[in-house]
């Protein structure tokens, strides 16, 4: 018994107006279609046949026998052929393949010299089978796609949960110690005030409290920045500036902390301006993070050299220190958040393990890159590369 599709009238208009594009990329349905056309040729004694999908631009999907690839049809020939009218340029019998009430392709058969009426009905039945195969392939592909989407979402969710857990444990762990210290010093201060002790001790406690609050506020700033990055809520105010100026500003501020550790911080500016397009406070944040690391991870009396250069459309800031360096096996981890390499500075300075993550994220937002070369016990060299931009005056 022949079903709906075979009872449908042959196409009478331009098939391109009525077709829908489906694509088959998987081996399984392709193999099935190949088997179908071979079986059909065998049963009809056709010398060749093929299955063509509209989406494939007349490239056969499955071929059997000595079937010359059908020529692309002119609109006129197409009208004839799809209406079942023999055409001299196209000696094939054409049977449309339906997929959800649309024609998605056709079976082209090279007719045997003699054939019975049974022949047309049989080919139509095979065309219908091919349609069902395509429908199945389509459904499977959609299911697979949905599955992949769900797996991806699941992974993202797991990452977000991990990230939040890390933030939470980092916050509780890293906030507790400076908070406890501040609390302790406040109690000592209170005792001092009650017992009318000397001002020198009060000054010392005040200093320690300030330090503790500084640590807390640093951590809160970093966490806030991370939260913004995670929520993709970073607004960029891009302006064209000379990178020399940005780096100079940060170096001026960092001379104090470097001097405190007896270190020499030198800056070599480039001869010509290096114009880059950045959000200035965020670009300063990157340089600040790199410089404070260089100071933090370099011993007393160390040297820190900052240099600006350019090469083939790229501006480069190199920040070199002769500090403790990074073990080779861990160098790839340092741009990840919450990495295990998180180390205290050479004077016990606090570390959050977030600075480089934030810096590399911001660098990517400026279409730049952040790289590092380092040798343990010898020192490190960080490179910030940013695309140069043209400035019209
Ligand atoms: P933090 O310095 O707060 O730990 P960062 O993300 O800035 O966070 O750095 C991650 C880790 O990379 C540090 O803990 C440290 O082990 C290593 N690191 C970064 N900069 C340097 C440097 N200049 N010299 C040696 N190690 C560094």
CA–CA separation, 24 and 108 (whole Å): 18
Do 278 and 322 sit in the same domain of this protein?
yes
Q: Kindly report the CATH number assigned to the domain that includes residue 168.
A: 1.10.287.130
Beta-bridged to residue 318, according to DSSP, are 307, 383
Dihedrals phi, psi of 374, to nearest 5 degrees: -155, 150
Residue 30, pLDDT score: 86
Which pLDDT value is given to residue 7? Answer: 33
**In total, how many domains does the chain have?**
3
Domain end residue (candidates: 112, 143, 174): 143
Residues 106 and 138 in one domain: yes
Residue 392 lies in a domain: no
Distance 150 CA to ligand 1 centre (A): 36
Strand 303-311 and strand 369-375: the pairing is unpaired
Strands 303-311 and 314-321: antiparallel
**Could you read off the pLDDT tens digit of each residue along the chain, which spans 393 residues?**
223 333 333 444 444 444 566 667 778 888 899 999 999 988 888 888 888 876 556 667 888 887 655 556 666 766 666 666 666 666 667 788 887 777 778 888 877 666 555 577 888 899 899 988 888 888 888 888 899 999 999 988 887 777 777 667 666 666 776 788 788 888 888 887 777 667 777 888 888 888 778 778 877 877 777 777 766 667 788 999 999 999 999 999 999 889 989 999 999 999 999 999 999 988 998 999 999 999 999 999 999 999 999 998 999 999 999 999 999 988 988 988 766 566 778 887 777 677 898 899 889 989 999 999 999 999 999 999 999 998 776
pLDDT for the residue 192: 78
Question: Which of 174, 214, 290, 297 to mutate for ligand 1's pocket (most ligand atoms within 8 Å of CB)?
Answer: 297
Q: Is residue 260 located within the same domain as residue 210?
A: no
Regarding whether 247 and 190 lie in a shared domain, the answer is no
Pick the atom of ligand 1 nearest to 354's CA: 6
Distance (Å, rounded) from C-alpha 183 to C-alpha 189? 10
Is position 4 within any domain? no
Name 223's Cβ contacts closer than 8 Å, sequence gap at least 6.
Answer: 167, 170, 171, 354
Give the pLDDT confidence score for residue 43 in this predicted structure.
87
30, HSE (Cβ side, Cα atoms, 13 Å)? 9
Residue 346 CA to ligand 1 centre (angstroms): 11
Whether 131 and 43 share a structural domain: yes
Long-range contacts, 92-95 (Cβ 8 Å, 24+):
93/120, 93/123, 95/120, 95/123, 95/124, 95/126, 95/127
pLDDT of residue 84: 64
User: Which atom of ligand 1 is nearest to 335's Cα?
Assistant: 6
**What is the CATH classification number for the domain harbouring 305?**
3.30.565.10
Q: Indicate whether 178 and 281 sit together in one domain.
A: no
Say if residue 40 is in the same domain as residue 105. Answer: yes
CA of 304 to the centre of ligand 1 (A): 15
Residue 45 counted as domain residue: yes
Query: Could you tell me the residue range of the domain that residue 221 belongs to?
Result: 147-230
> How many A from CA of 24 to the centre of ligand 1?
50
Looking at ligand 1, which atom is closest to the CA of residue 323?
24
SS3 letters for the chain?
A: CCCHHHHCCCCCCCHHHHECCCCCCCHHHHHHHHHHHHHHHHHHCCCEEEEEEHHHCCCEEEEEECCCCCCCCCHHHHHHHHCCCCECCECEEEEEEEECCEEEEEEEEECCCCCCCHHHHHHHHHHHHHHHHHHHHHHHHHHHHHHHHHHHHHHHHHHHHHHHHHHHHHHHHHHHHHHHHHHHHHHHHHHHHHHCCCHHHHHHHHHHHHHHHHHHHHHHHHHHHHHHHHCCCCCCCCEEEEHHHHHHHHHHHHHHHHHHCCCEEEEECCCCCCEEEECHHHHHHHHHHHHHHHHHCCCCCCEEEEEEEEECCEEEEEEEECCCCCCHHHHHHCCCCCCCCCCCCCCCCCCCCCHHHHHHHHHHHCCCEEEEEEECCCEEEEEEEEEECCCCC
Are 81 and 94 within 8 A, CB to CB?
yes
Q: Measure the CA–CA gap between 48 and 112, rounded to whole angstroms.
A: 9
For the record, the structure tokens of 327 come out as: 């073990």
Residues 285 and 163 in one domain: no
Is 197 within 8 Å of 188 (Cβ atoms)? no
> Does residue 34 form part of some domain?
yes
CATH number at residue 19: 3.30.450.40
Substitution candidate for ligand 1 out of 170, 222, 342, 348 with most atoms within 8 A of CB: 342
| 2 occurs within a structural domain | no
Looking at the fold, whether 361 and 297 belong to one and the same domain comes out as: yes
Ligand 1 pocket, residue 186 CB under 6 Å: no
Ligand 1 site, residue 29, Cβ cutoff 6 A: no
d(CA 376, CA 321): 12
Please report whether residue 393 resides in a domain.
Answer: no
Q: Which residue has the tokens 């820190």?
A: 304
215 and 264 share one domain: no
């Amino acid at each position: 018994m022949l079903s709906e599709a075979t009872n449908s009238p042959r196409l009478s208009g331009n098939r391109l107006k009525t077709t829908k594009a489906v694509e088959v990329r998987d081996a399984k349905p392709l193999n099935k279609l190949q088997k179908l056309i071979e079986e059909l040729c065998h049963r009809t004694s056709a010398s060749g046949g093929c299955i063509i999908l509209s989406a494939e631009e007349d490239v056969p999907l499955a071929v059997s026998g000595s079937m010359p690839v059908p020529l692309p049809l002119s609109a006129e020939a197409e009208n004839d052929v799809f209406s079942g009218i023999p055409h001299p340029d196209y000696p094939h019998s054409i049977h449309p393949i339906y997929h959800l009430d649309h024609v998605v392709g056709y079976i082209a058969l090279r007719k045997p010299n003699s054939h019975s009426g049974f022949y047309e009905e049989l080919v139509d039945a095979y065309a219908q089978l091919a349609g069902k195969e395509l429908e199945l392939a389509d459904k499977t592909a959609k299911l697979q796609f949905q599955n992949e989407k769900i797996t991806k979402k699941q992974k993202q969710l797991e990452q977000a949960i991990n990230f939040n857990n890390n933030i939470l444990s980092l916050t509780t762990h890293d906030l507790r110690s400076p908070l406890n210290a501040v609390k302790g010093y406040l109690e000592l201060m209170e005792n001092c005030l009650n017992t009318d002790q000397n001002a020198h001790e009060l000054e010392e406690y005040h200093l320690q409290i300030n330090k503790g609050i500084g640590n807390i506020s640093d951590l809160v700033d970093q966490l806030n920045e991370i939260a913004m990055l995670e929520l993709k809520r970073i607004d960029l105010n891009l302006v064209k500036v000379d990178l020399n100026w940005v780096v100079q500003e940060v170096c001026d501020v960092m001379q104090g902390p470097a001097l405190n550790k007896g270190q020499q911080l030198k800056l070599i500016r480039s001869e010509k301006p290096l114009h880059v397009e950045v959000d200035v406070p965020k670009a300063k944040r990157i340089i600040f993070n790199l410089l404070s690391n260089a100071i933090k991870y370099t011993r007393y009396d160390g040297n820190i050299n900052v240099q600006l250069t350019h090469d083939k459309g790229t501006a480069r800031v190199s920040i070199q220190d002769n500090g403790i360096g990074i073990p080779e096996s861990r160098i790839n981890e340092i741009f990840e958040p919450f990495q295990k390499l998180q180390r205290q500075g050479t004077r016990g300075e606090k570390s959050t393990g977030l600075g480089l993550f934030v810096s590399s994220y911001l660098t990517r937002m400026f279409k730049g890159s952040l790289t590092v070369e380092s040798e343990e016990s010898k020192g490190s060299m960080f490179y910030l590369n940013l695309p140069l931009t043209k400035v019209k005056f």
